[in-house]
Amino acid sequence: MDAAELVRLAQECGFELAGVARAEPLGEFDFYREWVEAGMAGRLQYLTDHRAALRADPRSLLPEARSVICVGKLYNTAAPGSAAVSGSSRGWISRYAWGDDYHAVVRDGLRRLLQKLRERTRAHFAARITVDAAPLLERALARRAGLGWIGRNTCLINQRYGSWFFLGELLVSLELEPGQPPPDRCGTCMRCVEACPTGALVPTGRREGPAWTLDARRCISYLTIEWRGTIPPDLRPNVGHHVFGCDICQEVCPWNRKAPFTAEPGFQPREYAPSLADLAALDEPQFARRFADSPVRRAGHEGLLRNVAVAMGNSGRMEWRAALERMASTASPLVAEHALWALARLEAAGA
């Protein structure tokens, strides 16, 4: 099977991007290991635990693998960017979480692709589908497969489609034609680095390999989604109105200016700029129902309320006093701490 036929099959399964990387040891693992050892993964244990070493070679997941089929699925929609709701009474949810949970959508597409491959080859071969959860260096493999280059914001960027796409992989024991990494087209642009409110994009000091990396401990997405504890007080003002994730480094990227929109029904926006008042009033069962099929459930009820309190404090809107006072007196100690901080911030702004 040649590359053109594989791309055609992938497109029939709903993927805009597809390519092949060899299943072999990845030199990029050295960068990954340095990043972890520098503490930049924060408390992301799934990146630093006993599974970390498995990322050195995709054959750790499928010993018979000879090729890794990498796919990309667009999730960009026509709704506005986060700047459109700045200073309003609304919070911001990262674009990737506006619709259905992408894991199921991408996995279903990969299942269809696997079935088509079996029908075309008419031969037995071993295979394994992965979507985000397996110990795999997805961006490194996607770059090797020709899907894009890794930008200064550490996102995979495609010249035609930008960076608004999910990645998935199909490991197979077939020998398929591999792609070639495209050239890095970030040039001298520093917009993502300059726009990051918390300074999470930092230089590596490397002469070889990536010149920039992400310090997760300062990233708004990490702080509002993955981090379960107290958001550092010095970073809270820069979290702004973000209640789940952050898109700023992608929104300012020139390669996303003309990024096409997805036709995938499951990714059409249901939640992107919800009322902070509505979110603050959610109890745990209501949270579970509202975000049952959404990535937002990953933050948890307590985590979302913590983020809402910070966003209210950053809004400068005195109308949130009553909601914050309620959160400070009735919510968990974690939420109460952030609500009290928010109240003090509002009072200082109104003084």
Which CATH number goes with the domain that contains 112? 3.40.109
Residues 144, 231 within the same domain? no
Cα 178 to Cα 181: distance, rounded to the nearest angstrom: 10
Q: What is the pLDDT of residue 18?
A: 98
Number of folded domains that form the chain: 2
Residues 240, 336 within the same domain? yes
pLDDT class of 271 with cuts at 50, 70, 90: confident
The H or E element spanning position 172 is: strand 165-172
Residues 165, 207 within the same domain? no
Give the tens place of pLDDT for each residue, 210-231.
999 999 999 999 999 999 999 9
Catalytically active residues, by annotation? 132
Residues 51, 16 within the same domain? yes
Residues 123, 229 within the same domain? no
Residues 119, 224 within the same domain? no
Give the tens place of pLDDT for each residue, 282-301.
999 999 999 999 999 999 99
Answer whether residue 177 is part of any domain. no
The H or E element spanning position 323 is: helix 321-330
Exposed / middle / buried, residue 329 (Cβ in 10 Å: 0-12, 13-18, 19+):
exposed
Taking the CA atoms of residue 20, residue 96, residue 46 and residue 333 in that order, the dihedral angle to the nearest 10 degrees is: 180
pLDDT class of 123 with cuts at 50, 70, 90: confident
Residues 37, 144 within the same domain? yes
Tell me 297's DSSP state. G
Segment 256-268 shows an average pLDDT of 94
The answer on pLDDT for 280 being more than 90 is yes
In sequence order, what E strands does 13-137 have? 17-22, 67-74, 92-93, 127-130
Answer whether residue 16 is part of any domain. yes
Taking CA atoms, 213 is separated from 35, 38, 87, 107, in Å, by 8, 11, 30, 28
DSSP string, 222-261: IIIII--SPPPTTTHHHHTTEEE---HHHHT-GGGTTPPP
Q: What is the pLDDT of residue 136?
A: 96
Residue 42: what residue type? G
Residues 136, 281 within the same domain? no
Q: What is the pLDDT of residue 193?
A: 98
Tell me 159's DSSP state. T
Answer whether residue 22 is part of any domain. yes
Residues 236, 318 within the same domain? yes
Residues 216, 251 within the same domain? yes
Contact 155, 94 (CB under 8 A): no
Contact 130, 122 (CB under 8 A): no
Beta-carbon neighbour count of residue 32 at 10 Å? 18
The answer on pLDDT for 351 being more than 70 is no
Residues 145, 38 within the same domain? yes
Q: What is the pLDDT of residue 183?
A: 96
Please say which residue of 120, 145, 172 terminates a domain: 172
Q: Return the biggest CA–CA distance within the chain.
A: 74
In this prediction the pTM is 0.94
Answer whether residue 87 is part of any domain. no
Answer whether residue 70 is part of any domain. yes
Answer whether residue 92 is part of any domain. no
Answer whether residue 89 is part of any domain. no
Residues 313, 211 within the same domain? yes
User: Which domain range does residue 138 map to?
Assistant: 3-79+100-172
Contact 240, 94 (CB under 8 A): no
